[in-house]
Amino acid sequence: MNKEVIKSINPANDEEIKSYPVMNDQEISKIISLSNDDYLNWKETDFSERSIRMKRAGQILRKNKEALGKLMTIEMGKPILQSESEIEKCAWVCDYFAENAEKFLEDEIIVTDASKSFVTYKPLGVVLAVMPWNFPFWQVFRFAAPNLMAGNAGVLKHSSNVTGCALAIEDIFREAGFPENIFRTLVIPSQRIKGVIQNKNIKAVTITGSVAAGKSVAALAGEVLKKTVLELGGSDPYLVLEDANLEQAAGTCVTSRLINGGQSCIAAKRFIIVEEVYKEFEGIFIQKMKNKKMGDPLDTANDLGPQARTDLRNELHEQVQRSINQGAKLLLGGFIPDMKGAYYPPTILAEIKPGMPAYDEELFGPVAALIKVKNEEEGIRIANDSEFGLGAAVFTSDLKRGEKIAKEKINSGSCFVNDFVKSDPRLPFGGIKESGYGRELSSFGIKEFMNIKTVYLK
């Protein structure tokens, strides 16, 4: 009888890269048990010992940047320079938490009527990470670096199409000198997640993915009372006001829309422009999108590679077509190219209205939705008229105005002024509404999977 396998397909040419045997229930159970065993020892190590290993992981990443970047590009299609940049960012997050975890998790003295009372942070155990394919290394390292530094262990269920990346990450931590099973990869399909969550040695779950996947994981974890952190979809609004530097705003908006092939939860998706500058912005935006070159992601001359999978490309095109059928105006792109691979060109839709996929849904690819509004007030209303609440941006030459809108008016987990939304190890990252809950990164993220424990002496 043939063993079930997971296949990795190169989206640039539809060719199989490699197949991986799927783990059975006994193998899964053994891995989780071994991870828990290593956790029981790892949680007793001091921060200096953890830091040495985490710094070494960063060094390994930098040393192998080209090879790891190529693996990422071949498995999910992002342009090679973006892949290599992602590896550098992973090394940064390793260094950041190696240097700051101890400070973030120091005991906090609280003055009460006790002789002494304080809050201390203790690791929970083995944390399951369910991760997506769009940033195959970064999504994992932004979970793993703080959690391993905090004393937890990690078990990864990665997207099937980036299994090579998942196993490479496991190898990196092992090569860096971490305990052999403190970070492990499970090679399993999504249908097997329930049994993993129910395993007694899994203490919490984090997922980055679609809203549907997040709700499913949260429900399964809720049945066994295990904490979750969810970073889900987004339909980030970028509000362009009448006093914005339009050349700079349009360039930033195009970058955010096309980075990673447009396949990012925090990519700009809805561009809301006040009518006073709409026509001028539209012209600049179209030209900048036209100038982007699509092709082989291993060729550094190209700005845009294929989408990660053909089925995802086809779903995106179907959303574009439905929007056009409902009255959206196609300004650029909007077709499936006559070429091998999961390619989709830079696409612009205008005259977007509620009820259209381009207005209501997340378009996970290089498709921009332009929305004209009368003024700032209407722009803010439309920006907030979404089930999502991950990131947002505002473009204005008046920084006080921008700060007020970002701080008080836009409903999202983050809002940037005159720049595109990006994750940063120093800042908390996450969303509200159907974009999820909980935070990753920074001092906030490292505490998500800790027992925040009160100690009281009298």
Domains and CATH numbers, the chain: 5-232+433-457 (3.40.605.10), 236-417 (3.40.309.10)
265 counts as catalytic: yes
Model confidence at 366, pLDDT cuts 50, 70, 90, reads very high
> Amino acid letter at 356?
M
The single residue of 170, 231, 282, 434 carrying the catalytic annotation is 231
Q: Where are any strands of DSSP class E within 115-214?
A: 116-123, 126-130, 153-157, 183-185, 202-208
Cβ pair 365, 316 in contact under 8 A: yes
Mean pLDDT of 163-190: 98
Phi–psi pair at 106, nearest 5 degrees? -65, 150
CA atoms within 13 A on the CB side of 207: 27
Task: With CA atoms as reference, report the closest residue to 147 among 233, 229, 26, 63.
Answer: 229
Neighbour count for residue 30 (Cβ, 10 Å): 13
Q: Which residues contact 64 (CB under 8 A, 6 or more apart)?
A: 87
What is the DSSP code string of 341-361?
Answer: SS----EEEES--TTSHHHHS
For the stretch 218-230, pLDDT in tens is: 999 999 999 999 9
Check pLDDT > 90 for residue 258: yes
Round to whole Å and give the CA distance between 123 and 446. 10
Neighbour count for residue 352 (Cβ, 10 Å): 25
* Secondary structure of residue 271 in the 3-state scheme: strand
Tell me the average pLDDT of the chain: 98
* Secondary structure of residue 113 in the 3-state scheme: coil
231 counts as catalytic: yes
Round to whole Å and give the CA distance between 144 and 150. 10
Check pLDDT > 60 for residue 1: no
pLDDT > 70: percent of the chain:
100
Model confidence at 334, pLDDT cuts 50, 70, 90, reads very high
Mean pLDDT of 269-295: 98
For 376-410, b/e burial (b = at least 16 CB within 10 A) is beebbebbeebebbbbbbbbbeeeeebeebbeebb
The single residue of 84, 265, 376, 448 carrying the catalytic annotation is 265
**pLDDT score for 424:** 98
Cβ pair 303, 79 in contact under 8 A: yes
Model confidence at 3, pLDDT cuts 50, 70, 90, reads confident
Strand 436-437 with 227-231, pairing = antiparallel
**pLDDT score for 2:** 60
Check pLDDT > 90 for residue 311: yes
